[in-house]
Structure 1
């Protein structure tokens, strides 16, 4: 009995010390008034730093608003910091708003990343950025269809919706803007976010998960592929995206994961930025793209190429649709299995492409006739 009592006492003391240790290392949360005050002070400090740097810079500037919106994985904050470093390496003035819900104890190092602080940051940028400045908005978190998770101190808050993000970005007006979402099902945000002077990049289509967000992950697969492995500032964003999609697909195939189908939507008035080497973003010049037309079929990924090969053997009437993310979708006949879809195969293929959350769904062919315009 004595031995059992001693064991019980030791176990009790061990549990007590562990509880004390955990209590002393609790993660800071917006529900703590002192932590909230710290967060607001850091927001003001970041704005002051950005404005001061902006007044000292000449020419075009890049404004970075990065948000790691989840405390359940180290990958999200690492993603945000990686993108921030890469932009700094471009060699021009980069003005930064960095916010994170990564574990922060005792003292905040970043403001909390919430829908409210995102709106605040975008408002500040819109009030200071010039019409020719470039704005980069990056968000890394868990996601689902039309929502991005907001989790602080392992407590789930109201998510950021596609409508909320669209409304926030509208504050930037016509400023050239690049939006990058590293989250599952992030392609579902494309319909709300696409705009003429906006590039939208998502780590997955609207119906696919993306990977690399376990608790101790270094970076998400997509952010690592786009900004870590093979990053070259002399390449354009379009080229880097194509290379990243290849790397992600290869990694997912090796792990026997379903391909996440990363997407890139380029507004018609921002093609010049998508094709310009990143190191030249700060250089003055005409907002035009002097690149020759590209065969659209060359943009298809492996799955898209297979879909087009299958399409060619289908009976008419039929239609084939492509997305700028390299995916393909076709429809055959006038009697859909899903009666909510259009009977016309062209309209149905477009509807299916949009339902998947793919970027810039456009008709490529109807029957054997290519109708692609390249607009």
Structure 2
């Protein structure tokens, strides 16, 4: 009886804090207000461009999510310029909160605060790590599932940022499904998977998710640009997945037309004034294709008319043939259908490349 009683007391003492607990919620609110006050004070003391970081580890079922958030936060701090931080986590917290709870409400509030303080040329980085499914991000606190965050909700939460240069990074399964709602001219969106693929590395005791680790851990080099980092990370992720016999997660990167300069600038130069123009060299579209995309294009060339081929900036190819789709909900026109299929897969920046044997590419 004594041993049972002691075990029960130990469990009670180690109970995880949750937003359902009024005292814990008060702690969370106070921490969030403290973060805002610290960010505003630091912003007033900074000169030139600033980076605002809003990081959210939205799930308590793996150590990887909080570790991801802290890793990205640490890397940004190493860039040498003013970084103003909002860090929220649903990682295991007992007795006293270390971070505010990471929920759709706290995300929306943090973004609203940033929009109130950030200048038009400041850079905003929003990072979310959690479990995911198509169009939803899991919110799990103290091993209790709360209502998930949808793509529509996240889009609305980010809306106050307006035209500020914004980078959104989603480390979650099926996160590419968020691309249609999140893409914009002054936004870069990076996802750990396409819209129809899982991503990996989120076991209960994982150090980091595969994607975040390959993008920001040992191979991190601030002299490289986001575009370079992403291209190299995709290769490393694919190798790890292949070695484990996992299906490739197909990480995606969508770059808005007016943020090409930021995607191509070394991270260590983010705080420096430079040529920030939409005038960028045209992209040779077929050079974007990865191995699977090249295979798809080779197959497309042997298909009968009518047909259409679409390319995504992530290197994938998608084609449609004929006017009678197997799925009656899809358009009969092959060009419209190829675009719809590309978007359904959650691929970045789907653009029409060819119709029949005519190249109709308009560029990025």
Shorter-chain TM-score: what band?
over 0.9
Question: Which residue matches 1:356?
Answer: 345
Residue 231 of structure 1 deviates from its aligned partner by 1.1
- Does 288-297 or 204-213 show the bigger shift? 288-297
Output aligned runs, 1:19-168, within 5 Å.
Answer: 19-168=8-157
* Per-residue Cα deviation, 1:141-175 (whole angstroms, up to 9, x for no partner): 01111111111000111111111111111111110
CA distance in 1, matches of 2:279, 2:222: 19
Q: Structure 1: give runs of 5+ residues left out of the alignment.
A: 1-11
Residue 291 of structure 1 deviates from its aligned partner by 5.5
2:358 is equivalent to residue 369 of structure 1? yes
* Per-residue Cα deviation, 1:256-293 (whole angstroms, up to 9, x for no partner): 11111111111111111111111111001231267643
Question: Which residue matches 1:275?
Answer: 264
2:127 is equivalent to residue 171 of structure 1? no
CA contact (8 A) 1:201 1:264 kept: yes
What is the aligned-residue RMSD (CA, Å)? Answer: 1.3
Question: Which residue matches 2:246?
Answer: 257
Give 1:188's match in structure 2, choosing from 164, 177, 182: 177
* Per-residue Cα deviation, 1:77-125 (whole angstroms, up to 9, x for no partner): 0000000011011111000000000001111110000111111101110
Any idea what SS the aligned residue of 2:310 has?
A: strand
Residue 241 of structure 1 deviates from its aligned partner by 0.7
Residue 340 of structure 1 deviates from its aligned partner by 1.8
TM-score, normalised by the number of residues in structure 2: 0.97
CA distance in 2, matches of 1:351, 1:340: 10
Residue 183 of structure 1 deviates from its aligned partner by 0.5
The higher radius of gyration belongs to 1
CA distance in 2, matches of 1:105, 1:150: 18
CA contact (8 A) 2:311 2:351 kept: yes
Any idea what SS the aligned residue of 1:269 has?
A: helix
CA distance in 2, matches of 1:191, 1:276: 25
CA contact (8 A) 2:257 2:278 kept: no
TM-score, normalised by the number of residues in structure 1: 0.94
Residue 359 of structure 1 deviates from its aligned partner by 1.2
CA distance in 2, matches of 1:250, 1:333: 36
Any idea what SS the aligned residue of 1:165 has?
A: helix
CA contact (8 A) 1:275 1:289 kept: no
Residue 13 of structure 1 deviates from its aligned partner by 4.6
CA distance in 2, matches of 1:249, 1:363: 26
CA contact (8 A) 2:258 2:278 kept: no
